[in-house]
Amino acid sequence: MLRTVAIIGRPNVGKSTLFNRLLGQRKAIVEDFPGVTRDRHYAEITRYDKPFLLVDTGGFEPQTEDQLLCQMREQSQAAVEEADIIIFLLDVREGLTAADKEIAAMLRRAEKPVVYVVNKVDGDKQEMAALEFYGLGIDHFIPLSAEHGRGVGELLDTLNELLPDTAPVEDSETEVRLALIGRPNVGKSSLVNRILGYERVVANPVAGTTRDSIDTPFVFDKQRYVLIDTAGIRRKGKVTVALEKYSAIHALKAMDRAHVVLMVIDATEGVTDQDLSIAGYAYEKGRAIILLINKWDVPEKDNHTMKNFVDEIQRRFKFLTFAPHLFVSALSGQRINKIMPLVAEVADQFNRRVPTGKINQGLEEFLAKHPPAMVRGHRLKFYYATQNAVRPPTFVLFSNRPEDVHFSYERYLVNCFREKFNFDKVPVRLQFRGRDKESR
């Protein structure tokens, strides 16, 4: 389970610069899939000894009436609530301000590990000036230059000490873990109750390893499932649009442990950018995904209403062509009885292995139907293939020029594997290797 590290601080102290410095490169977040919103403010950091989920925030202004700054403050407060470790970033050029002192007081009340970092320390002069930050009543801070990388090593060493050793989650072949995710107020809790049903809960809910998530074991058609419910952000008062991005953090943590993701979409609002962002993360993690369009009892309908919504799903979720969808209503119970049979079908595909002999028979058919093109005067050849993983189904194809497989031909092969071996409702991954890696 990835721990969350949030960067907090006033506007213009260099939070985004530090975010990118720790990330290493923007491309490391994900590759760009069509239809996925790229304006993320969180990323998995996996390039160091202990991986973690890094969250960037807007600037925190304790005293302001400006609406935008108020929303940025709320974002930062939400990030503090969600974080396991906090990086409090300060600016040596601005010096210690009253706003810094108020933020420090708020962080002390949060009772979470805080790493104090003074940014823009480019030399000895700035390092001497940074001494005034001891006025926060702290014992230690890290002088750092996010722009030039100075002091980043010490910051990483400190994070490494605070982050726990991450033990891999046991991946039982018989247990299927479901994560119910979605934006606030899309009806997740109501759907949880509908899916479980009072009479079908076989164990009391036990606290999960993720804050505000509940793991509920249950049995459907003799198959054991664990439903990971993500409650989203729970705060007093109104949850603003600006806060919604932090509901995604709950979903990200739940998806780390899930096999099948039930992505809940509000039928009254349509597909939002936040829906795309969360679903994109599930896709990148290789999860099976089912789209549940909830509150379908609310919109006024004619003969084209459902078709129009399906068209919107296909247009915006271009990267989820495999993901099945259901129009449901947690309130009225409409089509609720279809959810678990669909989950069972998806889970079966997600965990299915294909015999190597059948895989290579299929590969011969695919190559005969549409041979690969010439690459720089050489014919691209595939020797054989094997399945090396499930959840998701992953196949290794051995080739004479694996680095020259064009994405369009890879897409053709993925579609062939889907059709031939009945993987139409789950993601399929292909890996291309040279024959010299056969024994690795």
What are the pLDDT digits (tens) for 215-228? 778 889 999 998 88
According to DSSP, the β-strands at 394-399 and 382-389 are: antiparallel
- Give 117 or 222, the one with higher predicted confidence: 117
Tell me: pLDDT of 244 over 90: no
- The predicted pLDDT at position 207 comes to 32
- The predicted pLDDT at position 40 comes to 43
Structure tokens that stand for 50 in this block: 């202990």
Lowest mean pLDDT among 42-46, 89-93, 128-132, 315-319: 42-46
Fold of domain 4-162: Rossmann fold (3.40.50)
What is the average pLDDT across 362-388? 93
Closest CA to 113 of 140, 132, 75, 95: 140
CATH, domain 176-350, list 3.40.367.20, 3.40.50.300, 2.30.130.10, 1.10.287.1770 = 3.40.50.300
Convert the pLDDT of each residue in 180-204 to its tens digit. 888 878 888 888 888 887 433 222 3
CATH topology agreement for domains 176-350 and 356-437? no
- The predicted pLDDT at position 247 comes to 56
Structure tokens that stand for 421 in this block: 């071996």
- The predicted pLDDT at position 97 comes to 93
Q: What global pTM score does this model have?
A: 0.70
Q: Please state which architecture CATH assigns to domain 356-437.
A: 2-Layer Sandwich (3.30)
> What's the rounded Cα separation, in Å, for the pair 314 and 294?
17
The answer to whether the CB of 81 falls within 8 A of the CB of 6 is no
- The predicted pLDDT at position 435 comes to 78
Tell me: pLDDT of 376 over 60: yes
Structure tokens that stand for 425 in this block: 């409702």
Domain limits, the chain: 4-162, 176-350, 356-437
Question: Token match 């590969």: residue?
Answer: 363
